[in-house]
A = this chain, B = another copy of it.
Amino acid sequence: MKARVEVHIQLKPGMLDPQGETLEHALTAIGYEGVRSMRVGKWITFEIEGDESDAVESQVEEMCDRLLANPIIERYEYHVMREES
């Protein structure tokens, strides 16, 4: 079994995102008005190979919790796309 995984990570809602704020100002300053609520997060992609296909989701979730995201300040989403093999 082989799968492609995408993880999206962002600061939790309500937490200050200085990058997003600064970027939003910069865009406005160079003429892109109307940009709001900008947040800069991470996008992590990888492939994973394993035996039992069921376990992939729970494994990815664990990886997010333990290493990829910081659950204290970030929220994450993931998608697992199984590939034919």
Contacts and interface: CB of A to CB of B under 8 A. Distances in A.
B42 A43 contact: yes
B46 A24 contact: yes
* Copies of the chain in the assembly: 2
Interface in A20-35: 20, 23-24, 26-27, 30, 32, 34-35
B44 A32 contact: no
B46 A38 contact: yes
A59 interface: yes
Q: What does DSSP make chain A's interface, helix, strand, loop or mixed?
A: strand
Interface of A: 8-10, 20, 23-24, 26-27, 30, 32, 34-50, 59, 62-63, 66-68
16 contacts: A9-B43, A10-B43, A27-B63, A27-B67, A30-B66, A32-B48, A34-B48, A34-B49, A34-B50, A36-B48, A37-B45, A37-B47, A39-B45, A40-B44, A41-B42, A42-B42
